[in-house]
Amino acid sequence: MSRGMRIASAVLCGAIPAAACDTSVDCTAVEVFPIEIAPVDRSSGASIADSATAVATKNGRAWPLGPARHGANGRLLTLWGGEGPGQYLVAVRHPRIVDWDSIVVVATASGCQRFVTVSFTVRMTPR
């Protein structure tokens, strides 16, 4: 059972003139996802991304959130995934942590990137 719903959102980008998009960069060569989370143990502050599972669901379609960033010590720090702007239900699970669910709203952007990535820390409570 979830410990309640939290809502995270990105600020809607204003219109960016087409000339503001740097066309010298191949935008498709950069892998970017709309949701990036850093799950941590609330009591210790330590990352639990390497042993947590997370899924983002939008319009009945689910995307498992996969490895995104590692720390200097090689430990996994963040998970990311999803596809495009919209409203997602993000569920994070860990065997020793209370389930966490949140509605996340990813805003539309103009220019090279179609959306504004929502990045946040999930402070999870041990059971």
Total structural domains within the chain = 1
Q: Whole-model pTM?
A: 0.76
Residue 109 has what pLDDT?
85
Domain holding 90, by residue range, is 5-124
| Residue 42 DSSP symbol | T
| Residue 74 DSSP symbol | S
41: pLDDT strictly greater than 50: yes
Task: Specify whether the CB–CB gap between 57 and 64 falls below 8 A.
Answer: no
28: pLDDT strictly greater than 70: no
The CATH code of the domain that includes 20 is 2.60.40.1120
The rounded distance, in Å, linking the Cα atoms of 72 and 29 is 25
